């Protein structure tokens, strides 16, 4: 079974920039179709958007022993890139009706709603509920 983590970053990053950041943060190693890496256990699918949050980072892996803490990774990327990061957390319960978590560069978490744009995603102003994790 394949596992995955999707992170959506406000910052605009190229695939090479994102791979460099991820390989500094994840010991398992990350590769993409355009940038293979010997021994990498994670695969990156990278997308840029015209509006709103600029970069989608989809990480996939097939090793059931490999664990990726999506919330910790989102916090690390937010701090390193000084950028907000959106995710649908795998192990954090959100308030009823909300599916998205916003991580700011200081590591604060908020449950939010999103707006799907023609080519991108943006966060609705309300509701924005602070979370503890």
Mean pLDDT of 13-26: 96
Cβ distance 60 to 98 under 8 Å?
Answer: no
| 110 Cβ neighbours under 8 A, 6+ residues apart | 101, 102, 104, 128, 129, 130, 131
The whole-number pLDDT of residue 87 equals 94
Give pairs for 69-74: CB < 8 Å, separation 24+. Answer: 70/5, 70/7, 71/101, 71/103, 71/109, 71/133, 73/5, 73/7, 73/25, 73/26, 74/7, 74/101, 74/103
**Per-residue pLDDT tens over the stretch 70-106:** 999 999 999 999 999 999 998 888 877 788 999 999 9
DSSP, residue by residue, 45-61: EEEE-SEES-EEEEEEE
**Per-residue pLDDT tens over the stretch 101-126:** 999 999 999 999 999 898 888 998 77
């Amino acid at each position: 079974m394949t596992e995955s983590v999707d992170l959506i970053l406000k910052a605009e990053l190229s695939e090479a920039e994102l791979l460099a950041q991820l390989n500094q943060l994840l010991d398992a190693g990350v590769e993409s179709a355009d940038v293979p890496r010997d021994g990498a256990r994670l695969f990156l699918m990278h997308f840029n958007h015209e509006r709103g949050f600029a970069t989608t980072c989809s990480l996939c892996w097939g090793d059931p022993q490999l664990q990726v803490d999506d919330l910790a990774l989102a916090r690390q990327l937010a701090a390193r890139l000084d950028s907000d990061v959106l995710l649908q957390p795998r192990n954090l319960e959100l308030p009823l009706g909300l599916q998205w978590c916003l991580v700011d560069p200081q590591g604060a978490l908020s449950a939010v709603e999103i707006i799907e744009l023609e080519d991108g995603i943006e966060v609705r102003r309300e509701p924005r509920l602070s979370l503890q994790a």
